[in-house]
Amino acid sequence: MNELIRRDRTLAQAAIQCVLAKEGVTVTLPRAVNRKELVENLGSLTTPSVSVGEMAKIHTVTMDQAAHRFHRSQRGSDNLVS
């Protein structure tokens, strides 16, 4: 996901923007354990938006990861005794 990191946007800021870009999402509550993280998170309000192409890449990567986890879990269930 390094493609989301830009000179004017951090990965955390891109992640917040991705969540807020989803249909039906109106608020997100990102965790900030210190002032630096809080300022970074708030920066997502003013940094460049995640593009349609970037959102498509995120969707592809997350779907591939979900499919991999599903197939891996199915292999483990083959060893179960009924």
What single string gives the DSSP state of each residue in 39-68?
HHHHGGGTSPPPPHHHHHHHHHHHHHHHHH
pLDDT at position 72, please?
Answer: 80
21-25, 31-35, 46-50, 71-75: segment of lowest average pLDDT:
71-75
Mean pLDDT computed over 25-46? 94
Running DSSP on this structure, what letter comes out for residue 12?
H
Name the residue with higher pLDDT: 65 or 76: 65
Q: And the tokens for 70?
A: 């599903």
Mean pLDDT computed over 18-31? 90
User: Amino acid identity of 63?
Assistant: M
Give the Cα separation of 22 and 64 in Å (integer): 19
Question: In the structure, what pLDDT confidence band is assigned to residue 24 with cuts at 50, 70 and 90?
Answer: very high
Residue 12: partners with Cβ closer than 8 Å, 6 or more residues away: 30, 37, 40, 41, 44
Mean pLDDT computed over 38-64? 89
